[in-house]
Structure 1
Amino acid sequence: MTSEFGLIERYFVGRQPSRPDVVLAAGDDCALVEVPAGYQVAISTDSVVAGTHFLANADPAAIAHKALASNLSDLAAMGATPAWVSLALTLPNVDEAWLSRFCDAFFALADQHQLQLIGGDTTKGPLAITLTVQGLVPVGQALRRSGASVGDGIYVTGSLGEAKAGLDVILHPDQHRETEAQTLVDAHYFSEPRVAIGQALRGLASAAIDISDGLIADLGHILERSQCGAKINISQLPISASLAQFLRERSRALQYALTSGEEYELCFTAAADHDTAVMAIAQSLSVPITRIGEITQTGQIELHDDGAALDWQLTGFDHFKDENNE
């Protein structure tokens, strides 16, 4: 049987070139890194657990991408540049074919963002992955949730609702025959963290958050920290053709866009006079950015459809309550 240290040596050590700011990575009790002058370290930890975030028999490549993308999305929401990551991997047994696919996908995404694995742990138990990512951001330039002001525009990147629809397909195998089903499953597992957009928004966005619990819930966090309200025009919500074709009903697709968790798109606010600059970022990075509303004084989220008020009672995604947990 392969030992813990054998697994680490075989699958995790020496897979990446060393960043110049990494003094010591795997092989000692702690990693050592150097922080450049004039920068702060942004740190985030997230776990993905079998039965909560993915089915135990899910493709290990999909699990690896989802786990790392969710952490990278946190860095994106702060405007940070990815630097280092630690991985704690809990496995029910040693399955080297599973590990090989997991690691190939993990390092492919890490290398895409110049993110170096600098340490971690492996242990036996129910399948779970915990990651701690660290990124660099110039002092005083980190994006936060607390800066939104009345009159600011509310924006989102990409399209919304596909992750929830993909989860529907995963949990209900009969839906695999539906048009666009596989596209939505891929959207659920293989999100693209908006790291470059987060960095580009430094100095432009007044507040930002990544959409992990649903637009309604996560925008609510901005409103709470910024002590303001919001008005959203649902007709402006970015809905993909795949989602519209899969759900076949406009109101249902729009509600998915408002409540879908694990999207890992960015929601941010910016002053009205920054709108042109925001749209220039979308064009230069070839990522859609849509203005969906504006910040108000009301202290709550008001929904309307091109001026017609809506009374939709919607909440976000909660892993402790949502009955759609995988």
Structure 2
Amino acid sequence: MSGEFNLIEKYFVGRQNQRKDVLLAAGDDCALVQVPTNLSVAISTDTLVAGTHFLASADPAWVAHKALVSNISDLAAMGATPAWVSLALTMPEPNEVWLAPFCDAFFKLADYYGIQLIGGDTTKGSLSLTLTVQGLVDPIKALRRNGAQVGDWVYVTGSLGDSKAGLDVILDANLANKPYAQELEKRHYLATPRVLVGQALLGLASSAIDISDGLISDIKHILQRSQVGVSLDVSKLPISNELIQFLGSRSKAQQYALTSGEEYELCFTAPEQNKGSLDSALSHCGASITCIGQIRPQGTFDLHSNSQPVNWDLSGYDHFK
């Protein structure tokens, strides 16, 4: 048996209990799954590359968490229930010292969200991971980007900006002694996908997206698909005390909240008539929600703070810059 198949058998096969809807998992040319009646499969693929999305020296358990969360978050943004995942892993060599903690963390998180590894690939090359996740959702209720209407309120979950500050710490060792530097680095890798929030928003939210490239960039996808504009009050942005102390400025923290990628919080819109239902619907989800603005007619993109215009030249993450 080759080294590749030894690794697969040792680290990936038989690590999880089989879901009832998985007819055939890893070990054949394809996996076979059974889709329940009246549900559709939501599918998302993401790639993480060493040197771009994480340092090769990063804790492999944290890398595993980040890789799986980034994909599960896409399912959460549509209100889908996670079901299956496949993983393509490229490594320079079969490094079991790296692979063991990676797989331990990967399967721990997968089990927590009820998602089963059903296949994938391993090959030699620069360290990278490509995951394809599949979830189940009612196609009529699925959250999309094209449902926002003028007058809808704009919300975000959690707090924003910590991931960008954590990345600063990762890339600049001189920042390690700043307040909460280690905590913010941890938050960069160990985000929480808002699966329960997405499910609770079915029937309440008019549109949704997960924040992976920065709020100021990601909300524009909703605006474009829905053909609307937006007015955002930056004074309402949820930011942590740790971020403010790390940056030494609330204004700077607000800018981080707008531009921070890899947050994996949700941005969603909801009509006025559903505004009162959100708190009760989300009370069991373990995530705060904050109203940060309102949808306006197409062509509007307004940033203000307590009704005063804000003229910040900001952009989110660009994968090719």
**Superimposed CA distance per residue, residues 238-296 of structure 1 (whole angstroms, 9 cap, x where no aligned partner):** 00011011111111100000000010000000001211211223322231100000000
- For residues 93 and 286 of structure 2, what CA distance do their matches in structure 1 show? 42
Determine whether 1:284 maps to 2:284.
yes
- 1:301 match: 301
Cα pair distance change 1:298/1:26, threshold 3 Å? closer
AA of the residue aligned to 2:313: Q
- 2:3 match: 3
- 2:140 match: 140
**Is the CA contact (8 Å cut-off) linking 1:219 and 1:267 kept in structure 2?**
yes
**Is the CA contact (8 Å cut-off) linking 1:143 and 1:207 kept in structure 2?**
yes
- 2:106 match: 106
**Is the CA contact (8 Å cut-off) linking 2:3 and 2:94 kept in structure 1?**
no
Q: Secondary structure at the match of 2:273?
A: helix
Q: Secondary structure at the match of 2:294?
A: strand
**Superimposed CA distance per residue, residues 154-181 of structure 1 (whole angstroms, 9 cap, x where no aligned partner):** 0000000000000000011111111101
**Is the CA contact (8 Å cut-off) linking 2:80 and 2:195 kept in structure 1?**
yes
The alpha carbon displacement at 1:2 in A equals 6.0
**Superimposed CA distance per residue, residues 183-236 of structure 1 (whole angstroms, 9 cap, x where no aligned partner):** 100110000000110011011010000000000100000000000000001110
- 1:55 match: 55
**Is the CA contact (8 Å cut-off) linking 2:161 and 2:256 kept in structure 1?**
yes
**Superimposed CA distance per residue, residues 120-160 of structure 1 (whole angstroms, 9 cap, x where no aligned partner):** 00000000000000000013111000000000000000000
- For residues 227 and 53 of structure 1, what CA distance do their matches in structure 2 show? 32
- 1:129 match: 129
- 2:89 match: 89
Q: How many residues align?
A: 321
- For residues 296 and 31 of structure 1, what CA distance do their matches in structure 2 show? 45
Q: Secondary structure at the match of 2:110?
A: helix
- 1:26 match: 26
- For residues 109 and 155 of structure 2, what CA distance do their matches in structure 1 show? 26
- 1:155 match: 155
- For residues 284 and 31 of structure 2, what CA distance do their matches in structure 1 show? 36
AA of the residue aligned to 1:205: A
- For residues 139 and 179 of structure 1, what CA distance do their matches in structure 2 show? 46
- 2:318 match: 318
The alpha carbon displacement at 1:95 in A equals 1.1
Give the aligned CA root-mean-square deviation in angstroms: 1.0
Q: Secondary structure at the match of 1:284?
A: coil
- 1:207 match: 207
- For residues 52 and 249 of structure 2, what CA distance do their matches in structure 1 show? 28
- For residues 178 and 245 of structure 1, what CA distance do their matches in structure 2 show? 9
- 1:275 match: 275
Determine whether 1:41 maps to 2:75.
no
- For residues 297 and 154 of structure 2, what CA distance do their matches in structure 1 show? 14
The 5 Å alignment of 1:158-173 reads 158-173=158-173
AA of the residue aligned to 1:215: L
- 1:324 match: none
More displaced stretch, 293-302 vs 256-265: 293-302
- For residues 64 and 210 of structure 2, what CA distance do their matches in structure 1 show? 19
- For residues 199 and 148 of structure 1, what CA distance do their matches in structure 2 show? 18
**Is the CA contact (8 Å cut-off) linking 2:231 and 2:303 kept in structure 1?**
yes
**Is the CA contact (8 Å cut-off) linking 1:223 and 1:299 kept in structure 2?**
no
Aligned-pair identity (%)? 63
- For residues 310 and 244 of structure 1, what CA distance do their matches in structure 2 show? 19
Q: TM-score, normalised by structure 2?
A: 0.98
- 1:263 match: 263
- 1:192 match: 192
Structure 1 unmatched ranges of 5 or more: 322-326
- 2:225 match: 225
AA of the residue aligned to 1:240: S
**Is the CA contact (8 Å cut-off) linking 1:220 and 1:301 kept in structure 2?**
no
